[in-house]
A and B are shown apart, each in its own frame.
Chain A
């Protein structure tokens, strides 16, 4: 019953009728600190129990035939207590969401969350006028998205175009955007010059192995730092964290000597093991674990869970977003490594894609077509990976951004 600035994003997609998960207290990562009741004078009654800044992912089911502009971000100033601010977003022709001036007609059926009820009549009036605006907005949105998307993808698309050109066309002036004499010659030359598919396969094996190892070691280390009590815990954590400050370039030679003396030079082991854990990863996961209420573990212990069970059965599943973020980070950074694989491997059988690309360059000549063709081949797995994991990646990025 206090004046809390509470901001709730209710997102409804495709007119779906779904409800905000009941366990949002856990997945949102915060306990509900306040319940905001709205004075009766408001024609909306908001039974709101959402903490400041928390997210309600997914879908508010807002019944009523309220057609409002797509994606409109409508603050429902339902005369809620000072500053309580509930933007309602609807997508895909959603029949939902409500303008404030309409005195909030929709009943946001959000179980523990907001419950907004108001008179429904006003909404229809507003909605009818909004339809034309709705379509225009959607077209505008699509155009802008396409333009931005094209801009972002432009270097890759131009690379693709160059990979299909002869060198003379690449150098031509004015520059050619599209290949006029399209040819696959560059691709054949890449395959002939270097064992590129072998390199791609190697890079996949190495990146995925590094990723899995990091997930394992970082999540377990973070568990110890957060949930286990032992002497020197803080010191150990700070020591681990301090390694982030040492640039990789500074240790590359000593790592190289160590690995060579261990007899691991020119093996996959040498490409994987030095990266089996990462202080950044430990830090990332630790920060997430810190937001998990201690009560969760206590409850689990009372129910007979040991540390291991709690870790595997309860903690890891709710950590999926942060683990996803780490996985993406690990795979991409390993995929892009150049200096370490170059130093530690000698034979083509153990080399990775980035070296393959540099093998295509000839110091005294321009081979843009060849190099671009190589890059396109190397991009295939990365893009496939992105397409498969797109949703997870975006989710995990959002998680990362909120948790910090």
Chain B
């Protein structure tokens, strides 16, 4: 019995030795891995000595530490880290620390619990559809106040993009990562089907004809000419394309939206009728809500046309890998001749109100840096988001870049062809609204409701959410 206990203890010791060995190894490796970020860390350390009760009026005289929350993983996160490091190196009185905070929704959760405390960030990246929520939350300082104070020339910001983030005549946040949906098509398929690969469909009549011509069977499997992702963003775009409003009160931009309008103005019905019609003809594929599934289907030659974000272009081109020629075109008009344009998606930079003018000025300096033409050019090449600064197109390297990636030209042209009025709705419950829209489109495609019922259901459910939100925020 005692021997046994002893044995057990011994084996436990062996175990703990192994564990501690692992721990040590872990921390050693950790040190090695850490050396990469040592530069940032020491920079932040230097900034800690800044006196908090500085009386200086401008950011130029005291040390400022700025915390920047973002939701960019992967190549976007890498690009941000590089831009932040360059900014920190470019001057010596502001130190910016970029912190990844998960997806936008995670970051919002975190901000909600921290708002008003010292732990809140100075700058936060937030998605387009969070605009109304952020304004209502009262945590943010309108960017316009700093623009005005500084006399910064706001006309360098792409007008179609600035339009989205302008509310009550004020630019509330600085656009940063912006994208639009475009049409991707397989030029090789177009040639084989006898279509002109240089003339992609410009409206849904042509789209229907093309999809019909492209759809074919292969090994007992139907390859759809066109596959449309069930995505609330596309639904919103097609309301805008019809020059209609998604929500009342001028898309919620004249005054707070109290209900959706896509039901009463017929915009939603027009899209869903068309969508279901193509689907029932067997020329429109349905891969559900997953955008990546659509991209993969397109890249592997399983479908001929998809809609996708401009920011997905790098992924699509990498996936196709030269197997066929990728063409891009404007999002086709639903009603021939009516082009209300597309509105942008993506995210922008918000300045949080933490009370101190010095930190706001410092944060402003950083934001100005992030939207410089050179920085925006770099950002564009790394991520595929639009350069939001129109001066970026004057950079010689930009021309070379566009020549090498002609597909991107379409996206820029489409953006410039869209009127500033195409700027999407502002409602506080957009995340929920998108899910509602997507769920009802799914139910329509699986035959459990008609387009008419789908639109009615969407409107009912979103209106209820808007009402609750407005009561809570009035």
Q: How far apart are the CA atoms of A365 and B109 in the complex, in Å? A: 24
Contact A260 B114 (CB under 8 A): yes
Q: What distance in Å separates the Cβ of A3 from its nearest Cβ neighbour in chain B?
A: 34
B33 contacts chain A at the CB level, 8 A cutoff: yes
Task: Verify B26–A201 contact, CB threshold 8 A.
Answer: yes
B29 and A366 contact, CB distance less than 8 A: no
Minimum CB–CB distance for B134 against chain A, Å: 19
Query: Using Cβ atoms and an 8 Å threshold, which residues of chain A touch B315?
Result: 167, 364-367
Asked whether B319 lies within 8 Å of A168 as measured between CB atoms, the reply is yes
How many A-B contacts if CB must be within 8 Å? Answer: 142
Quick check: is A339 within 8 A (CB to CB) of the other chain?
Answer: yes
**Chain B 312-356 near chain A by CB (<8 Å), digits 1 or 0:** 101100111100000000000000000000000000000000000
Q: Is A358 an interface residue (CB 8 A)?
A: yes
Kindly provide the distance from the CB of B245 to the nearest chain A CB, expressed in whole angstroms.
Answer: 27
B34 touches A257 (CB 8 A): no
B29 partner, pick from A192, A201, A257, A370, beta carbons under 8 A: A201
Please determine whether A202 and B30 come into contact, CB atoms closer than 8 angstroms: yes
A195–B300 contact, CB under 8 A? no
Give residues 323-348 of A contacting B (CB, 8 Å). 339, 342-343, 346-348
Residue ID in chain A nearest B177 by CB atoms: A364
CB distance from A14 to the nearest CB of B (A): 20
CB distance from B416 to the nearest CB of A (A): 21
CB-based nearest B residue for A364: B311
Interface residues of A: mostly helix, strand, loop or mixed?
Answer: helix
* Alpha-carbon distance between A348 and B114 when the two chains are bound, in angstroms: 19
Contact between chains at B77 and A359 (CB < 8 Å): yes
Instruction: Output the least CB separation between A362 and chain B (Å).
Output: 3
Which of chain B's residues have a CB closer than 8 A to the CB of A365? Answer: 74-75, 311-312, 314-315, 384
* Contact residues, B1-20 vs A (CB, 8 A): 1, 4-5, 8-9, 15, 18-19
Q: How far is the CA of A86 from the CA of B223 in the complex (A)?
A: 62
Q: A366 — which chain B residues lie within 8 A by C-beta?
A: 292, 295-296, 315, 319
Chain B residues contacting A347 (CB-CB under 8 Å) are 97, 99
Q: How far is the CA of A159 from the CA of B317 in the complex (A)?
A: 23
Please, how many angstroms separate the alpha-carbon atoms of A358 and B8 in the complex?
Answer: 40
With both beta carbons as reference points, the residue of chain A lying nearest to B76 in the complex is identified as A362
Q: Is the CB of B33 within 8 A of A196?
A: yes
Distance (whole angstroms) from the CB of A303 to the closest CB of chain B: 13
Return chain B residues, CB-CB under 8 Å to A320: 8
Contact status of A260 and B119, CB under 8 A, knowing A339-B106, A349-B34, A363-B103: yes
> Is B101 engaged at the interface, CB distance under 8 Å to the other chain?
yes
| Cα-based distance from A389 to B11 in the complex (angstroms) | 11
Q: Report if A23 contacts B (CB, 8 A).
A: yes
Contact of A256 with B113 in the complex, beta carbons under 8 Å: yes
Contact (Cβ within 8 A) B73 A195: no
Q: Is A144 an interface residue (CB 8 A)?
A: no
A367-B74, A370-B74 in contact; A358/B319 too (CB < 8 A)?
Answer: no
Partner among B5, B75, B299 whose Cβ is within 8 Å of the Cβ of A171: B299
- Is A205's beta carbon under 8 Å from chain B? yes
B417 within 8 A of A: no
> Does residue A388 face the partner (Cβ distance < 8 Å to B)?
yes
Q: Say yes or no for B419: interface residue by CB 8 A criterion.
A: no
Closest CB of chain B to A312's CB: distance in Å? 11
* A interface footprint on B88-112 (CB within 8 Å = 1, 0 otherwise): 0000000001011111001001100
- Nearest Cβ distance between residue A254 and chain B, in whole angstroms? 9
Q: Is the CB of A173 within 8 A of B300?
A: yes
Is B423 an interface residue, CB under 8 A from the partner? no
Tell me, yes or no, whether B37 is within 8 Å of chain A by CB. yes
User: B34 contacts A193, CB within 8 Å?
Assistant: no
Chain B residues with CB under 8 A of A137:
none
Most chain A CB neighbours (cut-off 10 Å) among B67, B117, B179: B117
In the complex, chain A residues whose CB is within 8 Å of the CB of B73? 358-363
Docked Cα-Cα span, A230 to B383, in Å, equals 65
Task: Identify 8 new A-B residue pairs, CB closer than 8 A, beyond the known A358-B102, A364-B315, A365-B312.
Answer: A168-B318, A205-B23, A253-B113, A343-B110, A362-B72, A362-B73, A363-B76, A365-B75
What is B's interface to A at a CB cutoff of 8 Å? 1, 4-5, 8-9, 15, 18-19, 22-23, 26-27, 29-30, 32-34, 36-37, 41, 67, 71-78, 97, 99-103, 106, 109-110, 113-114, 117, 119, 179, 292, 295-296, 299-302, 309, 311-312, 314-315, 318-321, 383-384
Subset of 8 A-B contacts with CB under 8 Å:
A168-B319, A168-B321, A195-B37, A260-B119, A342-B101, A349-B41, A362-B383, A364-B309
